[in-house]
Structure 1
Amino acid sequence: MAETAGGGQAFNILAVVQEGRLAYEALLLMASLRAANPGFRGKVFLAEPQPGKRWHRDPRLQSDPIRAMLESLGATFLPFENKIFGQSYPHGNKIEALAALPDEPFLFLDTDTLVLGDLQGVPFDFARPSASMRREGSWPEPQLYHGGYGEIWKSLYDRFGLDFASSLDFAQPDDYWQRYLYFNAGWFFHQSPRAFGERFLTFARTIRDAPPDALAAQSLDPWLDQVALPLVIHSFGGGRPGPELAGLDGSVTCHYRSLPLLYARESDRVVEVLEEVAGQKDLRRLLRDHEPARLMIYQNRGRKARALFDRDDLPRREQTLRSALKKAGLWLR
């Protein structure tokens, strides 16, 4: 791809959209991207799974008005076929959709992301892939008599012939979860979606169908994509994001996960961007059909959720936030 006017390499953006919640999230993603990056040089592809034997019903976006709005905001719909995953594991969409992309540098974003700043100003090194570090120690969950973090992760590196030691963060204690390469799959990037996607699919399918013995007591649903992702990134010579990527999950993007969580824990800037784009007349008309948006944004329950927490002293675990929101009757997904 051509270089941008600022000297950075142009790239495409990939997100996955289908009927339901993801469609409404995609409206917010696209509107925030357009507002913050009016001169974005790449293409924005919304990958859309097609009906087939892997789905119980048609997963495609059914709303013509939402489809038209997304296209008016600059999205290109990208149909793809689920050959391995689908209804049984929708998280696999982000893996299988990569095969449908033009083989050019890409950034994957979950639809529950707001763009706050200049994405083209982020100095990506697409030859060295990385992913989001905004995660908790959600996987694995070591069990008595079934091995600890080190044994579990090493078994996966060994399965794929990867060097385990070079993936470790030796600043972290032995058998502590942060010592081991682990990402949130809310964003990741590479120079070749074809190569990255093929390896991601191979690793994920192998882990699902023939897991090492050390994984015997571990759940892979919904964690499979996040188990395979660090192995894929490491295999391409990538790793943890450096300070140059701090704008992702920072001043440039926000992976908010759900609207109640956004109001509970994100910065004033994130709330400002959300309410600015959601306040646009054409978007408001569509978003009001989505209960979380209608209640949290337009009926001000988000402000009630925000008042429950001190952003300077938030609970360390997301589950604590969720529990408090549920107790207050403010949890919506």
Structure 2
Amino acid sequence: MASTARKPQKFNVVVVGQNGRLQYEAVLFVASLRAKSPQFKGKVFVAEPQPGPLWEQDARMGNPEVRNLLTSLDAKILPFENHVFGQSYPFGNKIELLSALPAGEPFVFFDTDTLIMDELSTVPFDFERPSASLRVEGTWPEPPLYGPGYSGIWKSLYDRFGLDFDSSLDLSQPDEYWRRYLYFNAGFFYYKCPKLFGERFLEYAKSIHNDPPEELACQSLSPWLDQVALPLVIHGLGGGRGSLPSGMLDGSVSCHYRLLPLLYAREADNVVETLEEVAAPNRIKKVLKQYDPFKRMIFQNRGQKARALFDRDHLPRREQAIRNMLKKNGYWLR
């Protein structure tokens, strides 16, 4: 009988590398990938925005030791140009970097503030059916009291781009409840070709930003623009919910922690253990300690002290309450 064992897929991984916190998060991401996913055979890119008229200052990674360490971890620093966004909307980097990736090669984008905790090559990505993170709250839209509601706002966007709105709905959820509508966190997304995905992502984001439908008149697009355009792109390319088994990304294989104080406050023990294990080797520690919040949270034990403030089994329902507790006790370092 032929073996039914799944052959590991080959795909590229990309994160953004930028001056400031993101360059140190990139080190942590790549170090965790190398430590926890030795079977991963794809290329790892750290995409770096280049100086230009859309940046007030040089956004490139400014620490040469960061650059050297990333290279030694077999990550390729990938320059890309900002033609649309930049300083005014840095989240646009995850859209514009896609044009610099190898066309026709499957890719997974991760936000830099992500840890890899297990073998990434075991995740059964269906690169024909794009998807993104479902670890998301109902942050957008915020329907005004007298309308339009969720349906009116989202349908206006689907209509703008000639997409079928009804087939995007989760009919198991109530009408006018945010989960009924296709909505993702842009902390990861994937597809078979970055060029196809990136061109559509940029087209939709530009259109929404420059000429929003009138139904969006009361809606903020900052910082939500990427997450407004993303479900439209995914739906238009034949993807959606349920393309991945639950519990792997944003679960056993990866953790989008967002900020170290939040990681220590609310994530499971194995996430903290992975963080501290990956950061421990001297060549990693030497670089991470140059970023003061990492030095204090990871290496001076402030993260563990912050963690002791919270009961993971009874966390506040709203993230703002966690942030307030961290701030009150002097642990909100970012």
Q: How does the TM-score come out when normalised to structure 1?
A: 0.97
SS at match of 1:65: helix
Counterpart contact for 1:135–1:184, Cα < 8 Å = yes
Shift of 1:118: 0.8
The amino acid that maps onto 1:105 is P
2:82 corresponding residue in structure 1: 82
1:134 corresponding residue in structure 2: 135
1:264 corresponding residue in structure 2: 265
Q: What is the alpha-carbon distance in structure 2 between the residues aligned to residue 200 and residue 281 of structure 1?
A: 40
* 1:45-194 correspondence runs (5 A): 45-103=45-103, 104-194=105-195
Q: What is the alpha-carbon distance in structure 1 between the residues aligned to residue 132 and residue 39 of structure 2?
A: 24
2:225 corresponding residue in structure 1: 224
1:32 corresponding residue in structure 2: 32
* 1:235-254 correspondence runs (5 A): 235-242=236-243, 244-254=245-255
Q: What is the alpha-carbon distance in structure 1 between the residues aligned to residue 303 and residue 256 of structure 2?
A: 17
Unaligned runs of 5+ in 1: none
Q: Spell out, residue by residue over 1:242-288, the C-alpha distance to the aligned partner (whole angstroms, 9 max, x if none).
A: 45253000000000000000001111110001001111111111111
The amino acid that maps onto 2:16 is V
Shift of 1:6: 5.0
Shift of 1:301: 1.1
Shift of 1:241: 3.2
Percentage of pairs with the same residue: 64
The amino acid that maps onto 2:260 is L
Out of 60-69 and 317-326, give the one that drifted further: 317-326
Q: What is the alpha-carbon distance in structure 2 between the residues aligned to residue 161 and residue 139 of structure 1?
A: 21
Counterpart contact for 2:148–2:215, Cα < 8 Å = yes
Counterpart contact for 2:107–2:192, Cα < 8 Å = yes
SS at match of 1:108: strand
Shift of 1:8: 3.2
Counterpart contact for 1:131–1:241, Cα < 8 Å = no
2:15 corresponding residue in structure 1: 15
1:292 corresponding residue in structure 2: 293
SS at match of 1:261: helix
Q: What is the alpha-carbon distance in structure 2 between the residues aligned to residue 240 and residue 322 of structure 1?
A: 30
Unaligned runs of 5+ in 2: none
Counterpart contact for 1:146–1:217, Cα < 8 Å = no
2:210 corresponding residue in structure 1: 209
User: 1:173–1:278: structure 2 CA closer, same or farther, 3 Å change rule?
Assistant: same
SS at match of 1:227: helix
The amino acid that maps onto 2:276 is E
Out of 258-267 and 311-320, give the one that drifted further: 311-320
Counterpart contact for 1:122–1:245, Cα < 8 Å = no
Name segments (4+ residues, structure 1) moved above 3 Å. none
Q: What is the alpha-carbon distance in structure 1 between the residues aligned to residue 317 and residue 191 of structure 2?
A: 31
2:313 corresponding residue in structure 1: 312
The amino acid that maps onto 1:248 is L
SS at match of 1:219: coil
Q: What is the alpha-carbon distance in structure 2 between the residues aligned to residue 245 and residue 183 of structure 1?
A: 14
Q: What is the alpha-carbon distance in structure 2 between the residues aligned to residue 74 and residue 271 of structure 1?
A: 25
The amino acid that maps onto 1:114 is L
Q: What is the alpha-carbon distance in structure 2 between the residues aligned to residue 307 and residue 241 of structure 1?
A: 35
